Amino acid sequence: MTYAWTANTGSVLSGQSSPYATIQWTQAGLQTANLLLSDTRTSCDTSLSFGVTVNALPDVTISGNDSFCLGDTGSYSLSSTAQSYSWSASSGGTSSTSSFEKIWSGAGQQLVYLSVTDTGTSCVNADTIKIW
């Protein structure tokens, strides 16, 4: 047998000509993975299609100011529902709510990180904002 994988909105990363393939999907929604099996002895071909539900990543864009003076408090937020949040700053501090506050006590560039998990699909997305 020979194998040939294709995907309607994805790229076959590995296994293009093997029984198992790794596909990177580029669009959310109901997608299709296709496999063409060819019997090299009989020259008979069989096509198979597999429906795949690709879940969207949660929206993650940090809102907040990116420039402060020493001692100022920065407030950062994200509006979304049914999510699990994980905030942190490069100079310390964490939060697991939809917002994060940080008193900036050091000069120079700092970073605020946010990782969001969609609790319904377990899809994870992240964002970082540079603070001066």
> Which residues 6+ apart lie within 8 Å of 101 measured at CB?
73, 74, 75, 76, 95
- Measure the CA–CA gap between 108 and 94, rounded to whole angstroms: 20
Q: Give the model's pLDDT for residue 60.
A: 87
pLDDT over 80 at 80, yes or no: no
Residue 81 binned pLDDT confidence (cut-offs 50, 70, 90): low
pTM: 0.73
- Measure the CA–CA gap between 99 and 63, rounded to whole angstroms: 9
Where do we find the tokens 């993650």?
A: 60
C-beta neighbour count of 82 within 10 angstroms = 10
**Which residues face 113 on adjacent strands?**
88, 128
Q: Give the model's pLDDT for residue 5.
A: 97
pLDDT in tens, 84-100: 999 999 989 999 988 89
Q: Give the model's pLDDT for residue 83.
A: 83
